[in-house]
């Protein structure tokens, strides 16, 4: 077999980078569980009719075919999921009778899309979703809860500062109704293009496709310009002089989210009422979220979500939900490839037990086992090379300590190979400082700050 | 959308069962990392030519097709991996220049096979693999190491007792050569059928297909009958009077594994030299392993592996390896479906903070946040129902504690709803006993013992 080459869009990590990903994922999981979110994993495949319910994503689906099917073109009728929301909605319907509502779940899994790969967009990627789903009616306070949980999870991570943009579908739809737009849904779609097209082009579209007059179009653009880190957005909206019941409900809901998230705001995490935010997918019915990473606005959003009052319904019962998804691959891979994040070692081992000679391997194994018994990740040297070579072995992997077994007891000496300090040690008593127990994430703060500018 | 139905062969777990799976997986991971094995994840897909190198599994591969490809029958040339060994071998070749050898890695991931589903055999399943790979030559002690690590990982799990069967390809091949078998590989394939066919049928095949005379065939069957929990198998083999250099090497290697694993043997884990074991796949070159679960022999092996001296090679350099794979889905799902394992709660929450009324939600949130700050998973009641209903809410989820916030401070009382005991408590000081912090796995010991008989 000749040397294989990577598959475009299917990124894989080297061990040290994988350790960074694992630590980030562990942290997200820990925060989600502290808030009572239960882990869920759904199968990788869904029936095609489920995946194609929202036609717009159909082009991205990978369909599965059994290799040995008689007819080569016969598909299984299944495709790989392209997000975690569609499978979750299906899971809730399928298991509704056996779930307790409100049902808080997190899901950290891979998803697949057959789109053209570019930085931040992969054909296989990992995302972390949290959602709360209820039967019949979901109290509004959950819109605040999911935002707070994600804010808490992301704030503590060694990532560039994050910005959570929040808007409300009722607010913008109410506004568009209030100015007399014939089809508010079309206006939402056009306003959504503001991050791709110049304002003038969007204004033109509002007139041609949105069937608005120029004054109405300018009102819509004025609304989209409003952005505020506190509840003053409400006054700015009202200053535009449009009134509609739905608009008032939307202003009230958005106010609750912005107020509720005040405690989560820091220099690592900002929450912004951002009235241009619409989100393309049409199942959102109230709050909408998008997450941006400072210095990496070129990636567009690295997360998003919102409230969907009827994503799952079996005709008799409706299951409203609210949730946020965070793109682990989309965030992490650009940071890793720029060297802005890295791990200080490529193995879990905190200690390498040296080997005096092949005959004393059992003694080295025993030292290792005694360290492991107290939770210290340890490996034993592969072969009885000169000690200098064994130290180099540890260095290349970033293992901070080398243990030299004693001659006639299990005791010996342990060397911190970073400082060179070497001390007598008992494998039943010695332990490294807590921060050396596991691999650490190292951030290149300087470079991160430059990126932020 | 009408109520969806499960897809055969694609099992999904309810939250409490998922928590069992998560705890088992966490434990495996912890043990692997204590021994210095680094986490690795490979992409879900491999080029078809990689997957089909060992033609025998080709029928099980799911091939990927882009839904919107112009030509409906055009595949991407990629298929879902059916194990974790093929992707790992490819990963090692692809990244050899950037890895440190010996490279210890564990990989806990899903794999897919399009085969007919039955208990213990799924189309989507999770397995946990550990392997050590070296450049050029891999010292034999790693054969012992992977067995010991897997033994340690499985012994501590609340599963039925496990049995690790070990054999050595050199031993049996040397034996077959020693008796003058014209094609030892064919003999291995036939002996491998002993768990499916009666001895007489196998003997007949050894004569017809293996081209042995009856005396030779009986020798092979006598070898296959040898089974021993200690190194006495060596004498039993030698008593058969066959000599061959390769046979002696095999006896020596198997002796080392059995001796090396003596410390891992307990009433939870047995290591057996089992000379009928061959394993079908042809890349094993020395030690071979299979794992069986007591009382569930109908599942056949729940794990397996061995030494492969040339699984990965780029023509210039060869990367020998040794590893064991453990089937998480294959083991766990039958135990869960029989109720032999379950979790004591369906949510991570150890505490439910009750809600006096909607106006005091902020106070309840604050209590919850103070508990979480000290690592106690906590949720707040969804609505201000009567306290009796809120306690029922906790009960249904298995949350052991309900916190009743005080009236004018954040303090209050906490009730253990299992015992009914209720005490004054400070959210900055109170903590549950450690065993209540996370969901626990409950085993039905009685039933498990019955299964063992």
pLDDT for residue B339 is more than 90: yes
CB pairs A-B closer than 8 Å = 230
Minimum CA–CA partner of A437 in chain B: B34
Is the preceding peptide bond at B102 cis, omega within 30 degrees of 0?
yes
Distances in Å between the Cα of A156 and the Cα atoms of A107, A296, A446, B148 are 19, 18, 19, 38
Q: Tokens standing for B197?
A: 């066919």
Cα angle, residue B217 at apex, residues B215 and B220 outer, rounded to 5°: 115
Contact A312, A321 (CB under 8 A): yes
Contact A439, A19 (CB under 8 A): yes
Asked whether the beta carbons of residue A4 and residue B40 sit closer than 8 angstroms, the reply is: no
Minimum CA–CA partner of B29 in chain A: A348
> Cα separation of A361 and A377, whole Å?
18
> Cα separation of B355 and B382, whole Å?
8
Mean pLDDT confidence for A150-154? 97
pLDDT for residue B387 is more than 90: yes
Minimum CA–CA partner of A88 in chain B: B12
Torsion of CA B67, B70, B74, B80, to 10 degrees: -20
pLDDT for residue A72 is more than 90: no
For an interface test with A, the pick among B2, B3, B117, B262 (most A C-beta atoms closer than 10 Å) comes out as B3
> Cα separation of A202 and A192, whole Å?
9
Asked whether the beta carbons of residue B377 and residue A33 sit closer than 8 angstroms, the reply is: yes
Nearest residue, CB atoms, A361 vs list B112, B141, B376: B141
Q: Measuring CA to CA, which residue among A83, A78, A102 is closest to residue A92?
A: A102
Distance from the Cα of B313 to chain A's closest Cα (Å) equals 6
Mean pLDDT confidence for A133-138? 96
> Cα separation of B104 and B121, whole Å?
28
pLDDT averaged over every residue in chain A: 92
Question: B65-85 b/e with 16+ CB inside 10 Å = b?
Answer: bbbeeeeeeebbebbbbbbbb
Contact B441, B340 (CB under 8 A): no
pLDDT averaged over every residue in chain B: 92
Q: Which range has the worst mean pLDDT, A32-36, A76-80, B142-146, B207-211?
A: A76-80
Q: Tokens standing for B152?
A: 């340690």
What is the pLDDT, as a whole number, of residue B451?
A: 43
> Exposed, middle or buried by CB within 10 Å (0-12, 13-18, 19+), for A53?
middle
Distance from the Cα of B147 to chain A's closest Cα (Å) equals 14
Q: Which residue has better confidence, B58 or A292?
A: A292
Distances in Å between the Cα of B51 and the Cα atoms of A411, B47, B113 are 49, 7, 12
Q: Is A217 left (phi over 0), alpha (psi -120 to 50) or beta?
A: alpha
Mean pLDDT confidence for A48-64? 76
Q: Which range has the worst mean pLDDT, A387-401, B348-362, B399-413?
A: B399-413
A331: helix, strand or coil? helix
pLDDT tens for each residue of B416-448: 999 999 999 999 999 999 999 999 999 976 444
Nearest residue, CB atoms, B347 vs list A38, A68, A347: A38
User: ipTM of this predicted complex?
Assistant: 0.94
Minimum CA–CA partner of B1 in chain A: A314
> Cα separation of A84 and A112, whole Å?
10
What is the pLDDT, as a whole number, of residue B57?
A: 53
Which residues of chain A lie closer than 8 angstroms to B361, CB-CB? Answer: 141
Which residues of chain A lie closer than 8 angstroms to B66, CB-CB? Answer: 59, 61-63, 114
Q: Measuring CA to CA, which residue among B348, B375, B435 is closest to residue A36?
A: B348
What pTM did the predictor assign? Answer: 0.95
Q: Which range has the worst mean pLDDT, A390-399, B36-45, B309-318, B406-415?
A: B406-415
What is the pLDDT, as a whole number, of residue B68?
A: 67
Q: How far is CA A120 from the centre of its chain?
A: 12
Mean pLDDT confidence for B395-402? 98
Asked whether the beta carbons of residue B67 and residue A45 sit closer than 8 angstroms, the reply is: no
DSSP secondary structure letters along A395-436: HHHT--EEEEE-SSSS-EEEEETTT--EEEE-TTT----HHH
Q: Tokens standing for B356?
A: 């006096």
pLDDT tens for each residue of A232-275: 999 999 999 999 999 999 999 999 999 999 999 999 999 999 99
DSSP letter at B120 equals T
pLDDT tens for each residue of A163-174: 999 999 999 999
Q: What are phi and psi of A393, to 5 degrees?
A: -55, -45
Asked whether the beta carbons of residue A375 and residue B7 sit closer than 8 angstroms, the reply is: no
What is the pLDDT, as a whole number, of residue A1?
A: 64
Asked whether the beta carbons of residue A38 and residue B346 sit closer than 8 angstroms, the reply is: yes
Q: Tokens standing for A427?
A: 């494998």
Q: Measuring CA to CA, which residue among B335, B337, B241 is closest to residue B295?
A: B335
Nearest residue, CB atoms, B40 vs list A15, A80, A372: A15
Asked whether the beta carbons of residue B372 and residue A91 sit closer than 8 angstroms, the reply is: no
Asked whether the beta carbons of residue A34 and residue B378 sit closer than 8 angstroms, the reply is: yes
Minimum CA–CA partner of A347 in chain B: B38
Nearest residue, CB atoms, A35 vs list B7, B47, B372: B372
> Cα separation of A145 and B379, whole Å?
11
Which residues of chain B lie closer than 8 angstroms to A314, CB-CB? Answer: 1-3
Which residues of chain B lie closer than 8 angstroms to A75, CB-CB? Answer: 65
> Cα separation of A401 and B435, whole Å?
33
> Cα separation of A97 and B362, whole Å?
32
Distances in Å between the Cα of A261 and the Cα atoms of A146, A229, B199, B345 are 10, 10, 72, 30
What is the pLDDT, as a whole number, of residue A447?
A: 45
Asked whether the beta carbons of residue B78 and residue A349 sit closer than 8 angstroms, the reply is: no
pLDDT tens for each residue of B251-271: 999 999 999 999 999 999 999
For an interface test with B, the pick among A64, A76, A140, A431 (most B C-beta atoms closer than 10 Å) comes out as A64
Asked whether the beta carbons of residue B59 and residue A38 sit closer than 8 angstroms, the reply is: no
Adjacent-strand bridge partners of B290: B165, B304
> Cα separation of A199 and A203, whole Å?
6
> Cα separation of B280 and B54, whole Å?
11
Mean pLDDT confidence for A35-41? 98
pLDDT for residue A429 is more than 50: yes
Asked whether the beta carbons of residue B377 and residue A12 sit closer than 8 angstroms, the reply is: no
Distance from the Cα of A406 to chain B's closest Cα (Å) equals 21
> Cα separation of A304 and A89, whole Å?
17
pLDDT for residue A453 is more than 50: no
Asked whether the beta carbons of residue B94 and residue A6 sit closer than 8 angstroms, the reply is: yes
Asked whether the beta carbons of residue B73 and residue A72 sit closer than 8 angstroms, the reply is: yes
Which residues of chain B lie closer than 8 angstroms to A312, CB-CB? Answer: 1
Contact A386, A335 (CB under 8 A): no
pLDDT for residue B273 is more than 60: yes
Distance from the Cα of B66 to chain A's closest Cα (Å) equals 5
Nearest residue, CB atoms, A67 vs list B44, B61, B66: B61
Contact B347, A106 (CB under 8 A): no
């Amino acid at each position: 077999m000749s040397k294989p080459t990577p598959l475009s869009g299917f990124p894989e990590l080297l061990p040290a980078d994988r350790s960074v990903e694992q630590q980030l994922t562990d942290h997200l999981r820990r925060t989600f569980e502290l808030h009572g979110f239960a882990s869920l994993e759904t199968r990788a495949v869904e029936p095609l009719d489920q995946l194609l319910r929202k036609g717009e994503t159909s082009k991205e689906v990978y369909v599965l075919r059994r290799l040995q099917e008689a007819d080569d073109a016969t598909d299984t009728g299944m495709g790989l999921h392209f997000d975690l929301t569609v499978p979750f909605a299906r899971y809730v319907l399928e298991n509704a009778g056996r779930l307790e509502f409100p049902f808080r779940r997190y899901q950290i899994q891979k998803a697949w899309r057959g789109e053209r790969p570019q930085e931040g967009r992969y054909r296989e990627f990992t995302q972390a979703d949290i959602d709360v789903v209820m039967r019949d009616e979901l109290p509004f306070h959950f819109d605040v809860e999911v935002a707070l949980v994600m804010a808490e999870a992301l704030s503590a991570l060694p990532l560039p500062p994050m910005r959570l943009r929040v808007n409300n579908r009722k607010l913008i739809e109410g506004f568009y109704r209030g100015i007399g737009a014939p089809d508010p849904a079309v206006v939402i779609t056009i306003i959504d293009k503001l991050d791709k097209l110049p304002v003038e082009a969007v204004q033109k579209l509002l007139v041609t496709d949105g069937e608005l007059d120029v004054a109405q179009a300018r009102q819509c653009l004025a609304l989209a310009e409003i952005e505020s880190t506190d509840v003053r957005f409400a006054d700015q909206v009202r200053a535009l002089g449009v009134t509609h019941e739905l608009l008032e409900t939307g202003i009230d809901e958005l106010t609750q989210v912005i107020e509720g998230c005040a405690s989560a705001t820091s220099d690592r995490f900002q929450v912004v009422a951002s009235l241009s935010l619409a989100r393309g997918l049409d199942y959102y019915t109230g709050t909408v979220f998008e997450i941006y990473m400072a210095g990496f606005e070129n990636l567009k959003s690295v997360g998003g979500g919102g409230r969907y009052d009827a994503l799952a319904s079996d005709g008799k019962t409706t299951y409203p939900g609210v949730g946020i998804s965070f793109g682990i691959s989309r965030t992490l891979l650009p940071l890793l490839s720029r060297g802005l994040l890295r791990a200080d070692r490529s193995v879990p081992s905190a200690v390498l037990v040296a080997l005096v000679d092949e005959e004393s391997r059992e003694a080295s194994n025993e030292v290792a086992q005694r360290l492991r018994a107290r939770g210290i990740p340890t490996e034993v040297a592969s072969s009885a090379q000169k000690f200098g070579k064994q130290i180099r072995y540890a260095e290349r992997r970033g293992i901070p300590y080398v243990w030299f077994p004693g001659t006639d007891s299990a005791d010996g000496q342990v060397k911190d190979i970073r400082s060179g300090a070497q001390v007598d040690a008992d494998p039943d008593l010695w332990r490294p400082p807590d921060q050396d127990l596991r691999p650490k994430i190292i951030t290149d703060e300087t470079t991160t700050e430059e990126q932020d500018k």
